[in-house]
Amino acid sequence: MSEINTLANKLAPHYSRFNVANRLLFTGHSHQAWPDVARDGQTEYFDVCAREVDNKWEAAAEKTEILRNYLRDFYDDPDGLYCREESTHILFVSWMSSLDLKNKPKIITTDREFHSLFRQLKRFEEEGLEFVQVPVQPDNTFAERIIGEMDEQTSAVMLSRVYFETCLINTHLTEIAAAARKKGIPVLIDDYHGTNVVPLSVREAGLEDCFILIGGYKYLQWGEANCFLRFPKDCDYRPAITGWFAAFSSLDKPRNDDPVEYDNGNQRFASATYDPSSQFRAAKVVEFFQEQGLTPDVLREQYKAQVGLLRERFLSKNFDHSIIKLTHEEPLEKNGGFLSLTSPHARDIRARLLDNGVFTDARGEILRFGPAPYITTSQIEQAIDQLENVIKEL
Residue 86 is classified by DSSP as S
Burial class for 235, CB neighbours closer than 10 Å (0-12, 13-18, 19+): middle
Residues of the chain with pLDDT under 70: 1
- Tell me the Ramachandran region of residue 301: left when phi exceeds 0, alpha when psi lies from -120 to 50, beta otherwise: alpha
Alpha-carbon gap, residue 261 to 242, rounded angstroms: 10
Q: Quick: pLDDT tens for 252-268.
A: 788 888 899 998 999 99
Three-point CA angle 233, 81, 122, nearest 5°: 100
Give the per-residue pLDDT at 247. Answer: 87
Give the per-residue pLDDT at 381. Answer: 98
Q: Which residues contact 328 (CB under 8 A, 6 or more apart)?
A: 166, 168, 335, 340
Domains parsed from the chain with CATH numbers: 2-33+295-393 (3.90.1150.10), 39-288 (3.40.640.10)
Contact 68, 266 (CB under 8 A): yes
Q: Which residues contact 371 (CB under 8 A, 6 or more apart)?
A: 26, 28, 303, 306, 307, 310, 337, 338, 380
Whether omega for the bond prior to residue 296 falls within 30 degrees of 0, making it cis, is no
Give the per-residue pLDDT at 114. Answer: 85
**Helical axes 173-182 vs 142-149, angle rounded to 10°:** 20
Alpha-carbon gap, residue 172 to 155, rounded angstroms: 20
Report which of 336, 293, 292 is spatially closest to residue 311, judged by C-alpha positions: 336
- Beta-bridge mates of residue 370: 27
Residue type, 143: A
Give the per-residue pLDDT at 236. Answer: 96
DSSP 101-148: TTT--EEEEETT--HHHHHHHHHHHHTT-EEEEE---SGGGHHHHHHH
Alpha-carbon gap, residue 310 to 289, rounded angstroms: 24
- 254 CB neighbour count, 10 Å cutoff: 5
